[in-house]
Chain A
Amino acid sequence: MVLKITLKLFAGLSEYLPDGAHQNAVEVVLDREQSISQVIEQFKVPAEKAHLVLVNGVYCAPSDRDQNKLKEGDILAIWPPVAGG
């Protein structure tokens, strides 16, 4: 099952974006249903740097990333540890 998602990698993770990314986002095609952890691994994002993970803006806890599967059209956004004020 082929499905398309949008992958967004921000801050220090932008170097892991594949070619063709615009404004830290790129549409990627997954050749099968994959978990969030699998996508993180596929794009060689170091797991320890994938601190804040949002799927369609909703937080995904580290403990849920192995079992949570991505769906067609999902937006997966990932940050290293960041903060502001």
Chain B
Amino acid sequence: MSWSEKILRVDLGAGTCTSEPLNMEWAQDYMGQRGLATKYLVEETDPNVDPFSPDNKMIIATGPLTGTIAPTSGRWSVVCKSPLTGAIACSNSGGFFGGELKNAGWDMIIFEGKSDTPVYLDITNDKAELKDASDLWGKSVWETETTLRERRGDNDVRVASIGLAGENGVLYAAVVNDMDRAAGRSGVGAVMGSKNLKAMVVRGTVGVKVKDPMAMMKTSNTAKEILAENAITGEGLPTHGTQVLMNVINELGALPTRNGHDVQFEGAHDISAEAMAEPRESDGEANLVSNAACFNCPISCQRRSKIDPSHFTVKDKPEYQMVSGGLEYEAAWALGAACGVKDLDAVTYANFVCNEQGLDPITLGSTLGAAMDLYAAGAITSDDTGGHELTFGNTEVFVAMVDATAKGEGFGKELGQGSKRLCAKYGHPEFSMTVKGQEFPAYDPRAIQGMGLGYATSNRGACHLRAYTVSSEVLGIGGKTDPLVTEGKAGLVKAFQDLTAAVDSSGTCVFTTFALTGDDIAPMIDAACEGDWGVERLNEVGERIWNMERQYNIAAGFTGADDTLPERMLKDIAKTGSAKGSVNRLDEMLPEYYQVRGWDESGVPTQDTLSRLSL
């Protein structure tokens, strides 16, 4: 139990929806969500498949705890081959869609093939059918969700959809649910668009059965108490959100600024959590209106924001003058510091557009930063950008480029291909701040050594959420380590990667790990699911998932040479801050990382490691 033990297989070419049993043997080895969906992808697809081919499958997956009373149990994932990276894509979202899908009785949906015409999937419990979406094609996420909600006449339905970015093949298009929650990274929305699938709408009233209800209540309540009493999950995140990190990371000198030329941004405070809470000079209102929570989440880290109606971005656009999903740290960094933009409402507007049309704000901001770098170097001119002076910090042009990218117009089409392709086209591949083709997030690897190793070895390309060593290297959660030291980081990164893979496969949010340990999480899984689930097993499952993803990437053509960082991080020293004079010393960490992973010198898992993990 806890698994619904049921998969919905949707053949988009044939237009059929079929129920089939979940492979419970695999569920015991890969748990759910990220791990189990990847197992299905590995078994059912060729790693060398063209990501936009009908043969690339897209899997929507919940975890065993999704939809249960376990705290933060609203998580779900999209798994497929990424069009941005060519590597495994697993993008995780919150909101309410995942819990609703699980409560409709489905562990996963496997989409295969491609529809000839636009369709959406309509689910009410065990009834699922594909419906015509011709009238929705060309609509934004916001319009699509509103229309489908009205069409169903049921305010309790949950919707996940793509906007124009997914339809237009923007390589970092997101799947957005509940208006502003997103499976944002690696271009999963573009794969959805390539299948002519506009949306999924779901209503679920079946419920989720657990193995031992009393134990489930007890363990979940214990976890909720820990989360409530913890200073971070009970106070810091609800009050300030993830954006509280803007000033922390800037003070440290680890805020990648102007495409990584600097590590501190003079405008950091203007786009920080503290600034969001301050009344604006213009209208006396604060950007931040309130916080909000995903399904069954006691942390409530979401931001709800409102832009000054007289701000140039929205003054003639009433549809953006409402309260909507506000800035998280990663979005504020990418759309702010990475581009040298310090206008909080302009950055918030760009984030609204990302939600509205389904774009990953990290890759969008980083790509814009790279384009500004190309402009500064003279590699592109205003002839390329439609007459725009694409300089760092030019807020009006920044906003125009965000709009152009969302709509697929002019130079926005090129920005929609991500920084790797853009920089290669204009002769400066070294300007792309990517690993395996995916833009890295808001922590400069020169000042946080372990994050550099985490980016370099992340299976989905650069990512902070695969091994959030910032917890240890900066914030001192669970023991402080020195961010400038490389010693011990290999083991630290591996430990984070393995536990995170397990949490990502459980159906709960990785933010719980700021307060909960494996000793708190495992008992909830054990109460909910068949099998004995302890901490050791969680780590073993996490390690198995990590190695499975690695094997997929190797089969897709990646090698140890791809476990690297942009040259700028390895050769250009940090100019200021605590790491002044430093570069990332990846070469000191990577060989040891391969060793602790049980991989050979070229980064390939040894036969012993694969056997140990039953791979």
- When the two chains form their complex, are residues A12 and B274 in contact, meaning their CB atoms are under 8 A apart? no
Residues in B with CB closer than 8 Å to A16 are none
Most chain B Cβ neighbours within 10 Å, of A51, A79, A84: A84
Residues in B with CB closer than 8 Å to A12 are 235-236, 239-240
Closest to B252 in A: A57
For chain A, residues 24 to 46, give those with C-beta under 8 angstroms from any C-beta of chain B. Answer: 24
Complex CA–CA separation, A58 to B245 (angstroms): 15
- When the two chains form their complex, are residues B273 and A11 in contact, meaning their CB atoms are under 8 A apart? yes
For chain A, residues 53 to 84, give those with C-beta under 8 angstroms from any C-beta of chain B. Answer: 54, 56-59, 61, 75, 77, 79-84
Q: Which of B244, B329, B475, B482 contacts A11 (CB 8 A)?
A: B244
For chain B, residues 469 to 504, give those with C-beta under 8 angstroms from any C-beta of chain A. Answer: 471, 474-477, 480, 482-483
- When the two chains form their complex, are residues A56 and B477 in contact, meaning their CB atoms are under 8 A apart? no
Does B464 touch A at the CB level, under 8 Å?
A: yes
- When the two chains form their complex, are residues A82 and B511 in contact, meaning their CB atoms are under 8 A apart? no
Q: Which of B237, B247, B330, B482 contacts A24 (CB 8 A)?
A: B247
- When the two chains form their complex, are residues A8 and B241 in contact, meaning their CB atoms are under 8 A apart? no
Complex CA–CA separation, A18 to B124 (angstroms): 58
Does A20 touch B at the CB level, under 8 Å?
A: no
- When the two chains form their complex, are residues B476 and A85 in contact, meaning their CB atoms are under 8 A apart? no
Does B450 touch A at the CB level, under 8 Å?
A: no
Q: A80-B231, A83-B477, A85-B464 are in contact. Are A54 and B244 (CB under 8 A)?
A: no
Most chain B Cβ neighbours within 10 Å, of A57, A59, A61, A80: A57
Contact mask for chain B residues 454-468; partner A; CB cutoff 8 A; 1 contact, 0 none: 000000000011001
Residues in B with CB closer than 8 Å to A82 are 232, 236-237, 240, 244-245, 248, 475
- When the two chains form their complex, are residues A85 and B328 in contact, meaning their CB atoms are under 8 A apart? yes
Chain A: interface residue count, which band?
20 to 34
Complex CA–CA separation, A84 to B246 (angstroms): 9
Q: A10-B248, A12-B235, A14-B274 are in contact. Are A84 and B329 (CB under 8 A)?
A: yes
Residues in B with CB closer than 8 Å to A75 are 251
Residues in B with CB closer than 8 Å to A80 are 231, 235-236
Question: Using a Cβ–Cβ cut-off of 8 Å, how many residues does chain B contribute to the interface with A?
Answer: 41
Closest to B275 in A: A23
Does B253 touch A at the CB level, under 8 Å?
A: yes
Give, as a whole number of angstroms, the nearest-CB distance from A6 to chain B.
Answer: 11
User: How many A-B contacts at CB < 8 Å in the complex?
Assistant: 98
Q: A11-B240, A51-B476, A83-B514 are in contact. Are A58 and B248 (CB under 8 A)?
A: no
Does B355 touch A at the CB level, under 8 Å?
A: no
Q: A10-B247, A14-B274, A79-B248 are in contact. Are A85 and B329 (CB under 8 A)?
A: yes
Contact mask for chain B residues 553-580; partner A; CB cutoff 8 A; 1 contact, 0 none: 0000000000000000000000001100
Does A47 touch B at the CB level, under 8 Å?
A: no
Complex CA–CA separation, A81 to B273 (angstroms): 15
- When the two chains form their complex, are residues B247 and A85 in contact, meaning their CB atoms are under 8 A apart? no
Does B242 touch A at the CB level, under 8 Å?
A: yes
Give, as a whole number of angstroms, the nearest-CB distance from A60 to chain B.
Answer: 11
Q: Which of B239, B242, B483 contacts A84 (CB 8 A)?
A: B242
Residues in B with CB closer than 8 Å to A51 are 231, 476
- When the two chains form their complex, are residues B578 and A57 in contact, meaning their CB atoms are under 8 A apart? yes
Residues in B with CB closer than 8 Å to A52 are 248, 474-476
Does B168 touch A at the CB level, under 8 Å?
A: no
- When the two chains form their complex, are residues A24 and B269 in contact, meaning their CB atoms are under 8 A apart? yes
Complex CA–CA separation, A78 to B237 (angstroms): 17
Closest to B511 in A: A85
Complex CA–CA separation, A79 to B273 (angstroms): 13
- When the two chains form their complex, are residues B578 and A85 in contact, meaning their CB atoms are under 8 A apart? no
Complex CA–CA separation, A11 to B514 (angstroms): 17
Q: A12-B236, A57-B577 are in contact. Are A24 and B244 (CB under 8 A)?
A: no
Give, as a whole number of angstroms, the nearest-CB distance from A27 to chain B.
Answer: 16
Q: A11-B240, A85-B464 are in contact. Are A54 and B232 (CB under 8 A)?
A: no
Task: Give 14 CB contacts A-B under 8 Å.
Answer: A57-B252, A77-B247, A80-B231, A81-B230, A81-B232, A81-B235, A82-B236, A82-B475, A83-B237, A83-B244, A83-B471, A84-B241, A85-B242, A85-B510
Interface pairs A-B: 9 shortest CB-CB: A84-B242, A81-B231, A84-B245, A57-B578, A23-B269, A82-B236, A82-B244, A84-B329, A83-B232
Apart from A81-B236, A85-B329, list 13 A-B contacts with CB within 8 A.
A8-B247, A14-B274, A23-B269, A23-B274, A52-B474, A52-B475, A59-B480, A80-B235, A81-B475, A83-B236, A83-B237, A83-B244, A84-B328
